[in-house]
Amino acid sequence: MNFLHGITLLLIFQLIGEMTAILFNLPIPGPVIGMILLFAILLWRGRSSESLDDVSNGLLSHLSLLFVPAGVGIMVYFDRIVSEWIPIGLTLVFSTLATMMATAFVMLWAQKNSLKRR
């Protein structure tokens, strides 16, 4: 029952995000808005519930299954990927670098805040 409560909570936040994106005609996907809202509430509460921890660990343990549709998409659009490999490659390189830099800054910020609290 704990898993059911956690997955329900995730789906509620996804629904809230979808409704927000549709109502305000936002260019951001609804699930991303829902994830941001969930993150804000978790920051406000300062902790996560046991049911949310259970469902998160369950989804992370099967994360590799989520890459199957991407692999199928690569096979279906292989000709287009070959014809446009330069912009795709540049986008992958620059987005990876941007993600690594953002992760490093967030980690430094989190470490600094962690040391201040102690």
- Both 1 and 44 in a single domain? yes
- Both 47 and 71 in a single domain? no
Stated length of the chain = 118
117: confidence class by pLDDT, cuts 50, 70, 90: confident
Closest CA to 52 of 38, 32, 67: 38
Q: Considering its fold, how many domains does the chain have in total? A: 2
- Both 36 and 91 in a single domain? no
**At which residue do the structure tokens 């600094």 appear?**
112
Last residue of a domain, one of 22, 37, 61: 61
- Both 90 and 56 in a single domain? no
- Both 35 and 87 in a single domain? no
pLDDT score, position 67: 87
Q: Does pTM surpass 0.75? A: no
Share of the chain residues as helix, strand and coil, in percent rounded to the nearest 5: 85, 0, 15
- Both 55 and 11 in a single domain? yes
Q: Whole domain around residue 43: which residue ranges?
A: 1-61
CA dihedral 28, 52, 109, 21 (to 10 degrees): 10
